[in-house]
């Protein structure tokens, strides 16, 4: 259990390398090779990865060990994970924190950061992409650092509280610096710190889910939590899109800046409100499988 956050952090670090590539490097590739060629290449790479997983599935240690605990049907696993989530107060509290944190991050880094930088500072697309990339780099560094911070389950709650509160504080500073149009390195550096705190948080929330799962059922429980987390991403991205359009309906560059300030002021407020869940979380150092 004490190594779970470490391996989660390493996995997230490698996985979030894609988020780094998807901003400035992708912008360069689109300009250089065109959208059609870039997306054909991405599709081919994904098919190659999928084929590799199918070909190498016989080398899965769970399968070769004859472990039947993970061989339940997909629907059964999904039903079981949903049942546990809805019955567990701690899992629901973690879902509030996780969903709000990840949804807000994806609305910013994954959708609007480049356009917001362009609107607020009048910089080029390439320059805005570079500053936006600092957010995803921060997530990677946070994932890596979180792998080494507070590994034991008895420190899990402290790690979650500190990283979540720091994430909320970073949102406040980032929003104020963009709203006040402070020199662009200021929101750039704060954006890195915002991503860093998010990265540490995700390591320990993932490990916390494993702490609360019955042995051999951590994967299905994490899958159920992840489903709801990505629903929150859909809500945040579509919701911010609606608000930006609504607030900038009067047209003009100044209206768009005000739209971003208002929209992400609401996002910042939601992140702060979600922190109300923290005082109600219990320690994760108790016996595995106690999800109440």
Whether 112 is in a domain gets the answer yes
Whether 52 is in a domain gets the answer no
CATH number, domain of 200, equals 1.20.1250.20
Whether 34 is in a domain gets the answer no
Q: What is the pLDDT of residues 34-54, one digit of tens each?
A: 999 999 999 999 999 999 999
Whether 27 is in a domain gets the answer no
pLDDT category at 67 given cuts 50, 70, 90 is low
Whether 250 is in a domain gets the answer yes
Whether 287 is in a domain gets the answer no
Whether 58 is in a domain gets the answer no
The DSSP line for 38-94 is HHHHHHHHHHHHHHHHHHTGGG-HHHHTT--TT-S-HHHHHHHHHHHHHH-HHHHHH
What pLDDT is recorded for position 6?
83
Total domains, the chain:
1
pLDDT category at 168 given cuts 50, 70, 90 is very high
Whether 139 is in a domain gets the answer yes
Tell me which residue range forms the domain holding 249: 4-17+74-279
196/139 Cα distance (integer angstroms): 5
Output the CA torsion sign for 106, 108, 109, 110.
positive
262 pLDDT above the threshold of 80? yes
| Mean pLDDT, rounded, for 199-225 | 84
């Amino acid at each position: 259990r004490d190594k779970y956050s470490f391996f989660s952090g390493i996995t997230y670090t490698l996985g979030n390398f894609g988020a780094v590539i998807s901003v400035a490097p992708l912008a360069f590739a689109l300009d250089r090779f065109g959208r059609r060629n870039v997306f054909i290449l991405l599709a081919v790479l994904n098919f190659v990865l999928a084929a590799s997983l199918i070909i190498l599935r016989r080398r899965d240690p769970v399968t070769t060990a004859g472990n039947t605990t993970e061989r339940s049907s997909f629907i059964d696993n999904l039903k079981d994970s949903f049942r546990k989530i809805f019955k567990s107060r701690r899992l629901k509290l973690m879902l509030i924190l996780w969903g709000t944190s990840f949804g807000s991050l994806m609305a910013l880094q994954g959708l609007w950061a480049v356009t917001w930088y362009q609107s607020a500072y009048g910089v080029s697309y390439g320059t805005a992409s570079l500053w936006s990339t600092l957010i995803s780099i921060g997530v990677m560094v946070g994932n890596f650092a979180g792998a080494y911070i507070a590994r034991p389950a008895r420190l899990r709650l402290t790690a979650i509280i500190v990283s979540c509160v720091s994430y909320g504080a970073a949102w406040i500073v980032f929003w104020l610096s963009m709203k006040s149009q402070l020199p662009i390195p200021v929101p750039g550096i704060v954006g890195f710190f915002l991503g860093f705190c998010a990265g540490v948080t995700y390591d320990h929330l993932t490990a916390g889910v494993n702490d609360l799962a019955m042995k051999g059922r951590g994967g299905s429980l994490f899958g159920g939590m992840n489903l709801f987390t990505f629903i929150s991403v859909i809500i945040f991205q579509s919701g911010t899109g609606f608000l930006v359009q609504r607030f900038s309906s009067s047209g003009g560059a100044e209206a768009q800046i005000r739209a971003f300030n208002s929209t992400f002021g609401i996002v910042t407020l939601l992140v702060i409100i979600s922190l109300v869940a923290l005082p109600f979380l219990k320690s994760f150092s108790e016996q595995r499988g106690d999800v109440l």
